């Protein structure tokens, strides 16, 4: 489902170039649930953005379901992401002036579809159908993340990417959100890739990849 080949990504800070990804190669099978774990600054989020088509590598290729993502035009990439990829951000990124329902409908609207029915179904799946008309400011942090998850799954994507989806939540809400996310990925047979610093949460996946200094240092399938 996902294959990355020789990914390199660096940033310039003043006159200094800092390489964040060091020639990463990676394969993730369809339906697999993979957790990217590692210390702050290791390159986890940059790798996730690159795999999701949000940040072009300076060198290397990313294939999703056989499609060479960065060979597409900007418009083609956007359309491909809209049809095939769901992304969950740590800080929710809900539009404050839109209701929960309207936020969930955004990806469908971008794709030119009327998705109110699908959006309501997605909110129901995350347990928030009764909060559909509430604005983000009227929701708790856990509820806002559930809306963000509903938005990501409403289009029934083949791949779900989640960047520290429980990073702003307490331990009880973190466990509930992760169980919900894993369940939704299983129901939709979606490939799931999650960035987390939490070792215990990473143990819920099929496989862990330890990222350190922009490289995959080890592959851990035992959650040790």
How high does pLDDT run on average in the chain? 89
Helix, strand, coil proportions of the chain in percent (round to 5)? 35, 30, 35
68, β-bridge pairs: 63
CB count within 10 Å of CB 66 equals 7
pLDDT in tens, 126-146: 999 999 999 999 999 999 999
Q: 213's torsion region: left (phi>0), alpha (psi -120 to 50) or beta?
A: left
Tokens standing for residue 154: 């409403």
pLDDT of residue 221: 57
Phi, psi of 37 (to 5 degrees): -125, 150
Looking at residue 223, what is its pLDDT?
Answer: 44
Quick one: tokens of 95?
Answer: 């539009």
Q: Which of 36, 33, 23 is CA-nearest to residue 209? A: 36
Question: For the domain 2-220, what is the CATH superfamily, name and number?
Answer: P-loop containing nucleotide triphosphate hydrolases (3.40.50.300)
Backbone region of residue 39 per phi and psi (left: phi > 0; alpha: psi in -120 to 50; beta: other values): beta
Question: Which stretches of the chain score pLDDT less than 50?
Answer: 222-224
């Amino acid at each position: 489902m996902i294959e990355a080949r020789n990914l390199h990504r660096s940033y310039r800070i003043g006159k200094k170039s800092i390489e964040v990804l060091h020639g990463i190669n990676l394969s993730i099978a369809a339906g697999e649930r993979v957790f990217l774990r590692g210390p702050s600054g290791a390159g986890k989020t940059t790798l996730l953005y690159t795999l999701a088509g949000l940040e072009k590598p300076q060198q290397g290729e990313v294939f999703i379901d056989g499609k060479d993502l960065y060979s597409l035009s900007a418009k083609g990439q956007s359309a491909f992401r809209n049809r095939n990829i769901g992304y969950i951000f740590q800080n929710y990124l809900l539009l404050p002036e839109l209701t929960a329902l309207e936020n969930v409908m955004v990806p469908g609207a971008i794709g030119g579809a009327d998705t109110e029915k699908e959006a309501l179904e997605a909110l129901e799946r995350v347990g928030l159908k009764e909060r559909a008309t509430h604005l983000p400011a009227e929701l708790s942090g856990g509820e806002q993340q559930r809306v963000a998850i509903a938005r990501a799954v409403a289009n029934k994507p083949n791949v779900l990417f989640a960047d520290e989806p429980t990073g702003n939540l307490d331990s009880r809400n973190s466990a509930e959100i992760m169980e919900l996310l894993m369940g939704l990925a299983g129901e939709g047979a979606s490939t799931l890739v999650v960035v987390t610093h939490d070792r215990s949460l990473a143990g819920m996946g099929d496989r862990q990849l330890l990222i350190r200094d922009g490289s995959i240092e080890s592959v851990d399938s035992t959650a040790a």
